[in-house]
């Protein structure tokens, strides 16, 4: 059984905003098929010059991604969802922390998420449940 990930609030965006969000999701789907080292290198390059995102900005980007892309609402879409969220924040001149890790206790489960102001953005489990392996 999978648990859908839903936006905290349904985000109403303008046509250009929806197009930007959909472009971020499309690029994220392509990027998510790459090796972790390549993803990290690309995101590190894209991060240059961006200011840190606030928790509210990161949450708004994540909610927008979830609103425009039902595919990102799947419980197994965490990698695409997290990459799309950081890309959308970057399009707005901000950058949350992109993270990949594993559950701290068995069973082994990988997960990707975003953080802002030192907190995970709208995840089911808190940060103490995961061991971070990669962050940008």
- Domain spans in the chain, listed from the N-terminal domain onward: 15-135
| Contacts (Cβ under 8 Å, ≥6 apart) of 136 | 40, 43, 44, 47, 86, 97, 98
Which two structure tokens, joined as six digits, stand for 128? 């103490």
Residues 103-133 pLDDT 10s: 877 787 888 999 999 898 987 776 677 888 8
Range 44-50 average pLDDT: 94
Segments in the chain forming alpha helices (H): 15-31, 36-47, 55-68, 78-91
Q: Give exposure, 53-66, as e/b (b: 16+ Cβ within 10 Å).
A: bebebbbbbbbbbb
Q: How far apart are CA 37 and CA 43, in angstroms?
A: 10
Tokens 């992109």 found at? 98
Among residues 81, 2, 96, the alpha carbon closest in space to that of 47 is found at: 96
* pTM assigned to the model: 0.90
Range 80-105 average pLDDT: 93
Q: What is the largest CA-CA distance in the chain?
A: 44
């Amino acid at each position: 059984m999978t648990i859908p990930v839903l936006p905290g609030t349904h985000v109403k965006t303008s046509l250009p905003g929806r197009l930007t969000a959909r472009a971020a999701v499309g690029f994220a789907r392509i990027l998510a098929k790459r090796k972790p080292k390549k993803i990290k290198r690309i995101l590190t390059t894209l991060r240059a010059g961006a200011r840190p995102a606030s928790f509210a900005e990161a949450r708004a980007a994540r909610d927008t991604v979830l609103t425009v892309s039902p595919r990102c609402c799947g419980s197994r879409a965490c990698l695409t969802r997290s990459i799309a969220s950081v890309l959308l924040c970057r399009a707005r001149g901000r950058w949350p922390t992109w993270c990949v890790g594993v559950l701290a206790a068995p069973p082994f489960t990988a997960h990707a998420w975003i953080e802002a102001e030192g907190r995970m953005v709208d995840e089911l489990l808190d940060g103490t449940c995961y061991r971070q392996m990669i962050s940008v």
